[in-house]
Structure 1
Amino acid sequence: MADAFKLLINADTATHAARHLKRVWSGFDDTAFLAVALPGLDGLEFKARALRLADALKATLPDDLDRAFGLIESALAAPLPLDDKGEPVGIGASLSPQGLAGWVVWSLGEFVSRRSLEDPARALACLHALTQRFTAEFAIRRLLHERPQACWPTLQRWAQDPSAHVRRLASEGSRPRLPWGLRLQALVQDPSPTEPLLRALQDDSSAYVRRSVANHLNDIAKDHPERVTAWVREHLPSADARRQALLRHASRTLIKQGHVPTLQAWGLSPGLQGQATLALSTDAVRVGESVGLRVNLHSHGPQAQALEVDYAVVPDGGRGGKTFKGWRLSLAPAEVAVREKQHPMREVSTRRLYPGPHRVDLLVNGAVLASATFTLTP
């Protein structure tokens, strides 16, 4: 899967970009562009491929910033449509005959980012267009790091933008710890500048936007758990189902950690009053196969217990461990509940697998109550 992921940017992507830039500017040197973009491209990993295409743009687009950004904007396809839940449709389609969209936009955004400090307002206008064809969440971070005061008024306007893509960028681009993105250390230390954006967006009509707000709050929880607990306490009362789902997703790290104030905000108690057991379907699993989990929960408490049951898969040595969602249930007094699940041991683009011994920990309201082991083989 990791190898397949990097192929999302390939020689066809570069050729496609050159074709559409030539379409909007007859003077574009597509031969020179490909001479920079293509040599050794197949040997590069995904992010390096995106940066290589940005190098080719730098070598061939005009030095005049406004003209260069204008050519990029003219070469774009129409904004990506949204489904009835506000989710983008066709975000991975990068070879549209209409123009540039999809993964190539990462490279376009990188080019804009490199020159964004020359004219922040013009760069933000270009990112407003780019994010509607893929995302500009990585490209905006240099500006937020170097010129934050030039960004905040624009982000506030974007939180009210008619486009869900743009509203999402206001939240996603300003996440303190965006995966793959430049860490915004000032916001890691003090996330308060983004709180007005999150307040404006947490009840957004688009699930795409609300999910970003939840992930943004989850970022904040890693450094300021008390802020997210206070946010849940403030916004959970009288919340509708959509906001409840957002707040639950925002609380996920703190719940998995057994953070007591957050558990209390959700009406959860630490651990379990009772017994829990975990059994695995096998003691040896090959990469690409699945391991079955069987969980038994026996209540000894006098009242019903609200439980968040998760599990962590941890390689020997702890490197690459990850916690996964399991089940949410209410356990009545003396009740015995059985839950089963198949966990796939497949490589994905964001997580490596490490052959060898693995431990599975069963977490109930954040407390590890049982463990089991298996061996992963190539």
Structure 2
Amino acid sequence: MAEPFKNLINPATARHAALHLRRHWRGFDAPRFEALVSEGLDALEFKARALRWADALQATLPDDFDRACGLIEAALAPPLAIDADGEPVGLQGALHPEGIAGWALWGTGEWVARQGQAQPERALQCLHAITQRFTGEFAIRPFIHQQPEAVWPVLQRWTRDPSAHVRRLASEGSRPRLPWGLRLQALVIDPSPTLPLLRALQDDPSAYVRRSVANHLNDIAKDHPGLVAEWVREHRARAGAQREALLRHASRGLIKAGHAPTLAAWGLSQGLQGEATLAIAPARVAVGGAVALQATLRSNARAPQTLVVDYAVHHVKANGASAPKVFKGWKLELAPGEVRALQKSHSLREVTTRRLYPGRHAVDLLVNGVAVASAAFELTA
């Protein structure tokens, strides 16, 4: 069995960090820090461990925030490298011999967010250093929430920073709905403050940065689909391959949902010109099994058709009602008169985000967001 992810924050991590902090301040109480981090750690989940780490720093670092930030910055490992494709080269949880890096810095960033609200400029300077060894995306969000007027000019400046880690933070840290992070409800309502950042970063030379921009736009699409559809329409003009890939990733949720303006922006507004069938086997299957989907598309058009083919499974809920979930299928070019057979296995194993209940499950075949054929299977306990 794989080691639980939460164990990346452990007593050895605390001992390693304490060693490097003490190297730069002989007064640092390393035994106390290690004890505060380690007590009852086995019972804590990942984020709780990071918060425990922040508690331990609060109890052992100097009261003077500027001095404490200087100590942390001095104890950091060199910045993580970026490879030729613009991707970070990390330690994968290993302890860096030259200083603190990796998951130990999640809790360190939480300490900065707690203690630095009275000195946001100094706090952001510390996060600028931390994000080059881990990420500051969680720690910067309380500053955006509480002091946006102090943060936005800094983020705009960071879009031109030499470090890809810092440029990524400008996008990732300001996402409205960052997983594991504080939801920035003001940006959920009105994402316009982040749009200049995304515009500056969408052609960044680093794939690491561009992927963050795509995920940021996908966040916005959940609340403002029309804005993202218009963004795609505007920014596809004269787009190179990298921007095209970013925009497609950014609009993936809207394409799956059949959002008409987004489909139109991608030239997919026209439905299938032809016929479609869908068959499912077996007709009866137990939770934990799988069904085979067999679709056939037949073109009666005189020109090629660019098609995005997905499928929606109407999952039965605990109360007997059903709710559709769209799964990614195929993107294809259907030639005039062509008959294309498509096959896919659909797993019915339960996952942490989806509980399966017995009952009749309808399945819709979606072509460019429009249901063109349906079938069903019976799921048993």
TM-score by length of 2: 0.89
Residues 1:340 and 2:338 are matched in the alignment: no
Correspondence for 2:276: 275
Shift of 1:281: 6.9
Q: Distance in 1 between matches of 2:12 and 2:271?
A: 53
- Give the direction of change, closer, same or farther, for the CA distance of 1:7–1:163 in structure 2 (3 Å limit): same
Q: Answer whether contact 1:91 1:102 (CA < 8 A) is retained.
A: yes
Question: What amino acid is aligned across from residue 4 of structure 1 in structure 2?
Answer: P
Question: What amino acid is aligned across from residue 208 of structure 1 in structure 2?
Answer: Y
Correspondence for 1:325: 328
Question: What amino acid is aligned across from residue 366 of structure 1 in structure 2?
Answer: G
Which deviates more from structure 2 when the two are superposed, residues 109-118 or residues 300-309?
Answer: 300-309
Q: Distance in 1 between matches of 2:278 and 2:26?
A: 69
Residues 1:370 and 2:374 are matched in the alignment: yes
Correspondence for 1:24: 24
Q: Secondary structure at the match of 2:80?
A: coil
Q: Answer whether contact 2:282 2:377 (CA < 8 A) is retained.
A: no
Q: Distance in 2 between matches of 1:106 and 1:321?
A: 36
- Give the direction of change, closer, same or farther, for the CA distance of 1:281–1:41 in structure 2 (3 Å limit): farther
Question: What amino acid is aligned across from residue 276 of structure 2 in structure 1?
Answer: Q
Shift of 1:3: 7.3
Correspondence for 1:195: 195
Q: Distance in 2 between matches of 1:354 and 1:88?
A: 35
Q: Answer whether contact 1:277 1:297 (CA < 8 A) is retained.
A: no
Q: Distance in 1 between matches of 2:23 and 2:286?
A: 52
Q: Unaligned regions of 5+ residues in structure 2, if any?
A: none
Shift of 1:4: 2.0
- Give the direction of change, closer, same or farther, for the CA distance of 1:135–1:320 in structure 2 (3 Å limit): farther
Q: Secondary structure at the match of 2:88?
A: coil
Question: What amino acid is aligned across from residue 14 of structure 2 in structure 1?
Answer: A
- Give the direction of change, closer, same or farther, for the CA distance of 1:209–1:21 in structure 2 (3 Å limit): same
Question: What amino acid is aligned across from residue 331 of structure 1 in structure 2?
Answer: L
Q: Distance in 2 between matches of 1:53 and 1:311?
A: 44
- Give the direction of change, closer, same or farther, for the CA distance of 1:91–1:234 in structure 2 (3 Å limit): farther
Shift of 1:374: 6.8
Shift of 1:332: 2.2
Q: Distance in 1 between matches of 2:215 and 2:114?
A: 26
Shift of 1:2: 9.7
Q: Distance in 1 between matches of 2:8 and 2:323?
A: 24
- Give the direction of change, closer, same or farther, for the CA distance of 1:302–1:17 in structure 2 (3 Å limit): same
Q: Answer whether contact 1:320 1:353 (CA < 8 A) is retained.
A: no
- Give the direction of change, closer, same or farther, for the CA distance of 1:135–1:290 in structure 2 (3 Å limit): farther
What percent of counterpart residues are identical? 61
Q: Deviations over 1:247-306 (max 9, x none)?
A: 11111111111111111111103643321415357954776x876544333334444322
Q: Distance in 1 between matches of 2:330 and 2:309?
A: 5
Report how many residues are paired. 374
Q: Deviations over 1:317-360 (max 9, x none)?
A: 18998544322111223322223345567788xx5343544856
Q: Secondary structure at the match of 1:214?
A: helix
Q: Deviations over 1:151-196 (max 9, x none)?
A: 1111111000000000000011111111111111111111111111
Q: Distance in 1 between matches of 2:262 and 2:225?
A: 8
Question: What amino acid is aligned across from residue 277 of structure 1 in structure 2?
Answer: L
Shift of 1:38: 1.1
Where do 1:294-305 residues align within 5 Å? 294-305=294-305
Correspondence for 1:132: 132
Where do 1:196-275 residues align within 5 Å? 196-269=196-269, 271-273=271-273, 274-275=275-276
- Give the direction of change, closer, same or farther, for the CA distance of 1:285–1:202 in structure 2 (3 Å limit): farther
Shift of 1:33: 1.0
Q: Distance in 2 between matches of 1:321 and 1:111?
A: 42
Q: Distance in 2 between matches of 1:293 and 1:7?
A: 40
Where do 1:87-166 residues align within 5 Å? 87-90=87-90, 92-166=92-166
TM-score by length of 1: 0.89
Q: Distance in 2 between matches of 1:172 and 1:212?
A: 6
Q: Secondary structure at the match of 2:17?
A: helix
- Give the direction of change, closer, same or farther, for the CA distance of 1:82–1:347 in structure 2 (3 Å limit): farther
Q: Distance in 2 between matches of 1:218 and 1:132?
A: 24
Q: Distance in 2 between matches of 1:135 and 1:347?
A: 32
Question: What amino acid is aligned across from residue 48 of structure 2 in structure 1?
Answer: A
Q: Distance in 2 between matches of 1:45 and 1:376?
A: 34
Q: Deviations over 1:76-104 (max 9, x none)?
A: 11111111110111253341112111111
Max Rg structure: 2
Q: Answer whether contact 1:258 1:270 (CA < 8 A) is retained.
A: no
Q: Answer whether contact 1:260 1:270 (CA < 8 A) is retained.
A: no
